[in-house]
Amino acid sequence: MSQNYRIYINDNTLFIADLMPKRVKKIQQLDIQDFDFQTFHKNLSKVSAKEYILLVDRPKKLFTKIQKDCELIKAAGGLVKSAEGNYLFIFRNKKWDLPKGKVEKGEGMKEAALREVEEECGVKIHTNDEKLCKTFHVYVLNNKLVLKKTNWYSMTVKGEPKLIPQKEEGITKAVWLSEIELNPVLKNTYPSIIQVLEAGELL
Write the DSSP string, 110-133. HHHHHHHHHHHH----SEEEEEEE
CA distance 13 to 11: 7
pLDDT at 46: 73
**Burial of 58 from C-beta contacts in 10 A (0-12 / 13-18 / 19+):** exposed
Query: CA-CA distance, 178 to 86, in Å (whole number)?
Result: 4
Q: What is the mean pLDDT of each run of 10 residues along the chain (203 residues)?
A: 86 93 81 93 84 95 95 98 98 97 97 98 97 96 95 98 97 97 96 96 93
* CA 147, 148, 151, 152 torsion-angle sign: negative
Phi, psi of 31, rounded to the nearest 5 degrees: -85, 120
pLDDT at 160: 98
Residue 3 has a pLDDT of: 78
| pLDDT recorded at residue 24 | 59
Query: How many Å apart are CA 66 and CA 53, to the nearest integer?
Result: 14
Residue 96: Cβ within 10 Å count: 20
Can you tell me the distance from the alpha carbon of 129 to that of 155, in angstroms, rounded to the nearest whole number? 6
Q: Can you give the pLDDT at residue 49?
A: 81
The rounded distance, in Å, linking the Cα atoms of 143 and 56 is 29
Q: Which domains does the chain have, with CATH numbers?
A: 4-68 (no CATH), 71-199 (3.90.79.10)
